[in-house]
Amino acid sequence: MPSNHNLDMRIKYELEYALNCSPKMIWPRLSTPDGLSEWFADEVNVDGNTFSFRWNKTVEKAKLASVKEFRLARFEWEEENNDSETNFFEFKITVHDLTGDLSLLITDFAEPDEKDDEIYLWDTQINNLKRALGI
């Protein structure tokens, strides 16, 4: 989730999660307000291509900046001093050619001293996603 710290100090990290489901099953949970509210945020609303994410009393807005159906969704946070190079998060679905196994690759950014906490938060969110998927 975004932080209002110096964006120049944010570092990129990628997480990969193996999920036992099809792209058609997971895609709505990565790209629609109803799907995202099942696991990512307490409430998600959309106006045009701007998504509002609510966690407790905090609301953050992000623009759905890039979409490749069943493959990729990139959200750019709407903040002052927005640096689109370090101010987005992205979901990428890959399916292994030989095994058919699906992986969800998450790209995000964090302050160096907050990276471990953010990874823990993603791990927790992915467990919520697995529950929502029934896997």
pLDDT of the residue at 95: 95
Domain locations in the chain as residue ranges: 7-133
List the CATH code of the domain at 7-133.
Answer: 3.30.530.20
pLDDT digits (tens, 9 = 90+) for 32-66: 999 999 999 999 999 999 999 999 999 999 999 99
What pLDDT score was predicted for residue 86?
80
What b/e string do you get for 43-57 counting C-beta neighbours within 10 Å, with b at 16 or more? ebeeeeeebbbeeee
- How far apart are alpha carbons 111 and 97 in whole angstroms? 35
Residues 13 and 78: their CA atoms lie apart, in Å, by 20
Nearest residue to 15 via CA among 106, 124, 87: 106
Q: Can you give the pLDDT at residue 83?
A: 62
| pTM reported for the whole predicted model | 0.89
**Can you give the pLDDT at residue 79?**
76
End-to-end CA distance of the chain: 24
pLDDT in tens, 57-110: 999 999 999 999 999 999 999 976 566 678 899 999 999 988 889 999 999 999
